[in-house]
Amino acid sequence: MALGKLFGRGKKDDEAKKPGEGTATAGPPPAESKEKAASQPEPEPEKKKGGAFAALRRGLSKTRDKLAAILPIGRKLDDDLLEEIETVLIQADFGPITAADLCEQLRDAYKGKEFTSEQAIPFLKERLTLRLDHDTSLNFAKEGISVFMVAGVNGTGKTTSIAKLAHQFHKEGRTVVLAAADTFRAAAVEQLAIWSERIGVEMVRGRDGGDPASVVFDAVEKAQELRADVLIIDTAGRLHTEKGLMDQLSKMGRVIQKKIPDAPHEVLQVLDATTGQNAVQQAKEFHKAMPVTGLVLTKLDGTARGGVIFPILEQVGLPVKFIGVGEGIEDLQPFEPEKFVDALFD
């Protein structure tokens, strides 16, 4: 079943635009908005230092330092060392269940002489990689426009992640349109406007506090007019109630489906890795309110809690599709389990 069907169909309430309400404008922001944008600092230029894996290693350095403090240290893999390993894994937000399970596997395999103490790290890497075995690819439309909706609470890096994702698609030669549908946060719209101009992609916006579905309507039309490959929609992160969030997203979905029946193709939620176990709870709550298909885990460069990705996968059951390992525009990377685990240890 297409993801778009989860949003519901057949309503004829207020999907149609009302005259004068939420009129969106395509292209560069109007003069007043440009003045506001000019008053904000320009994003710093990207510094290239050794490619994607190097950036990933730098991003996970704090988590890796925690693990390196006890592994490898040439000690016998006894109960004392296993307890230390479990403590470090919990501190790195692997979660108590994951940490206890991994240490139990280490203990049993070591007693069964499956490896020596010097081989504990390769064993641990293998087990962790198996836990991350899931489909991390994006679901693109078979033909026409691929529509991605992106949600996330304030402060997670949602708008910046959208810009970085747009930059990646643009670099690949795809035509991208951005929809600034987080209309109740003027700062988010202005930030997205700065990024869209810097990247060189089209952005559609509406009036502050206007109907987000109206912005989405105009964005779909603009994407079709430009024969765009990708439409990325910046949606509201949190409303007063889960029902309000779901209602808003459902309305957007119905507006999109009138023009693109099998859309949206992905609903991505952005999570801040620095919040640790709170990110797990946030993912659970969002998943109750909306049909999330994948996660974007940001700010891994600013935390020793890189292990949080494991309880998110195990408790929420949603694939992590992108990770943020820095502030640069190239620092949003497709999630690759083996490289991620390598960067935790090597």
Candidates 208, 210, 202; CA nearest to 187 is: 208
Confidence at residue 37, expressed as pLDDT on a 0 to 100 scale: 40
The H-or-E segment that residue 316 falls in is helix 309-316
User: So what's the pLDDT on residue 180?
Assistant: 95
Per-residue pLDDT of the chain (346 residues; tens, 9 = 90+): 445 444 554 444 444 444 334 444 444 443 343 334 433 434 444 444 456 667 777 777 877 887 777 765 566 788 888 888 888 888 888 888 889 999 999 889 888 877 777 778 888 889 999 998 888 999 999 999 999 999 888 888 999 999 999 999 999 999 999 999 988 888 889 999 999 999 999 999 998 888 899 999 999 999 999 999 999 999 876 644 566 777 787 889 899 999 999 999 999 999 988 887 788 888 887 777 678 899 999 988 777 677 888 888 888 888 999 999 888 898 899 999 998 888 888 7
- Of 237, 236, 194, nearest to 212 by C-alpha is 236
- pLDDT on residue 48: 45
Least Cα distance to 169 among 197, 201, 137, 193 occurs for 201
Say what the pLDDT of residue 238 is. 61
Nearest C-alpha neighbor of 228 from the set 26, 39, 91 = 26
CB atoms < 10 A from the CB of 286, how many?
24
What is 57-115 written as a DSSP string?
A: HHHTHHHHHHHHTTSS-S----HHHHHHHHHHHHHTT--HHHHHHHHHHHHHHHHTTSS
For the chain, give percent helix, strand, coil, nearest 5: 50, 10, 40
Tokens representing residue 154 in the block:
């304030």
Q: Is 141 left (phi over 0), alpha (psi -120 to 50) or beta?
A: beta
**What pLDDT score does 89 carry?**
87
Give pLDDT, residue 171. 96
